[in-house]
Amino acid sequence: MGGTIAMAPSVSGGIVPAFGADDLVASVPGLADLDVKITTESLRALPSPSLGFGDLVALSERVRHEIDAGARGVVITHGTDTIEETAFFLDLTIPADAPVVVTGAMRHPRSAGPDGPANLYAAIRVAMSADARGLGTLVVMSDEVHGARFVRKSHTSSTGAFVSPAFGPLGILVEGDPRIRGVARTGLTLAAADKVTDVRVGLITVAMGDDGALLNRAGDLFDGLVIAGLGAGHVPAAMVPVVAAQAERVPVILSTRTGAGSVLRQTYGYPGSERDLLDRGLIQSGFLDPAKSRVLLALLLANDVDRHAITEAFDRYR
């Protein structure tokens, strides 16, 4: 799909897309020693901030086609900026047991010590592993195996940027051998409907002193909203009327900007607390972070799911 793993320095400065899937596979030592046939396709060549839901629909369809045609597993190379959203989208739209593994790189191929070849080798080994079957979409970086619904990018440049807060990785690679412990899937599968490209889901991050003016101006542009609240799922008291008004109009998901942990349900009771907001019709995101909450809500709306079913879907991630 593109990303740093497939970039090189340009004459004008900075790195830009430069390599296709064939180039990436050719750069990985040791693949010839594996008992596996690898076919390649370059679907996109984009920095991941430029990918959109239309690209993810095309990717999901392509992955399902490869699995239906007999692929043992599928590996996707991708930019790290939005790798977690893409992995979660695939996790929601591909029900097959065959491993779907997403990987990338923090250092480009022409840098000192590029991590792309090692990550791609590890991803292929995981895609070959019987222990990876039935676990949904996985993200493999730095010899760690992460579940799509847990993984987050936590650093701008470190090769150890990817973590799974609270739960940890599902496995690691030891001498190239995947050691994976299973985790139950939620069982939720949604169609990768083309309509998702037309659905607008806003993501509003709350800050100290926020009075909801931005949300009030932008809210009517959206079919649904995700609120990245403070702490355990809170907003300033001055913001409550605006948030409540939006919740009467469209589905509003209450998440947290903290980076780890679940939105609470019943601990705090002041105006703007999680109890107050849930009583006003907001839907809690559970352990899903704001970015993944946006992906799930967009797919639910694209599948014409009603508010009760939206609540039930998010309850799977408690």
Q: Hey, which residues are catalytic here?
A: 4
What contacts 290, CB < 8 A, 6 or more positions away? 203, 205, 226, 228, 255, 256, 257
Q: Is the dihedral of CA 180, 186, 189, 194 positive or negative?
A: negative
Do the beta carbons of residue 106 and residue 137 sit within 8 Å?
no
Do the beta carbons of residue 247 and residue 282 sit within 8 Å?
yes
Dump strand ranges (E) for 49-189: 74-77, 100-103, 137-141, 144-147, 152-153, 162-163, 171-174, 177-180
Do the beta carbons of residue 297 and residue 201 sit within 8 Å?
yes
Rounded to whole angstroms, what are the CA distances from 300 to 71, 138, 203?
Answer: 28, 21, 16
